[in-house]
Amino acid sequence: MVATGERRPGVVLIHGAFHSAACWAPTVNELERQAPDLAVLPVDLPGRGGTPADLRTVTLASCVEHVVGEIDRVGLDPVVVVAHSLGGLTAPAVVARLGAPRVARLVLIAAVIPPDGASDLDLMPQPARSVMARVLRPGRERRPPARPLARLFFCNGMNREQRQLVYAQLTPEATNLFSEPVDRSGLPDAVPRTWVLTCRDRSMLPSKQRAAMRDLGRVDEVIELDTCHDAMVSQPDELARVLLRR
């Protein structure tokens, strides 16, 4: 999709853990239908989908570098940066790298946002944190969840076709990302921030999302969707409308 006429911000889509850019397909299709002139860039993070990499060596820095490189390669300017779930670790650093003049808005969907200087693992209460620290030991590749767990945590309320789409794009994950501390010191205050709160989420419970908003420090608006974690598959029409209004 190529923007024409007045320069409208392009939309950059960053997926979460155990997902690839293919998870955005229903929402991308809706954006194409509702706004054919809109430039949309779903990015496969390193080691996922069409971006080959050794997941054992993938870091937050390499994810940020790749997303910024893809934005520059396509020539999008300005952009709305959209991140789902664990993509919330990468997106603020992408916005910081691009700077306020190039970013029209940051949109976070059920995002993982630890306190600045903390990691995703730091958010987990004990004793679960100690167990998961062993399971997600850095420098490894973690297999995606089995279908029953994916259905429980990502797909509750979806129909069969939607669930099959989620299952088909599940991919292994880089364990480094769960234990690396985040650095949001360069996140520009001038960039507006929208949070899409998934009210029936079993992966990022609404209470955890509200805690994440507080840890982010400022959210300018909260949009509630009555849906599960993978809103881009379960409610693509409504999510597309949310993004287009911003």
Q: What are phi and psi of 177, to 5 degrees?
A: -65, -25
**Residue 86 has what pLDDT?**
98
What is the rounded CA–CA span in Å between residue 13 and residue 80? 9
**Residue 109 has what pLDDT?**
99
**Residue 2 has what pLDDT?**
37
**Residue 6 has what pLDDT?**
55
pTM of the model: 0.96
pLDDT below 50 — which residues of the chain?
1-5
* Domain 10-245, CATH class in plain words: alpha beta
Q: What are phi and psi of 223, to 5 degrees?
A: -110, 120
What is the rounded CA–CA span in Å between residue 158 and residue 228? 8
Average pLDDT over the chain reads 96
Sign of CA dihedral 109, 115, 118, 120: negative
What is the rounded CA–CA span in Å between residue 44 and residue 138? 21
What is the rounded CA–CA span in Å between residue 3 and residue 41? 12
**Residue 167 has what pLDDT?**
98
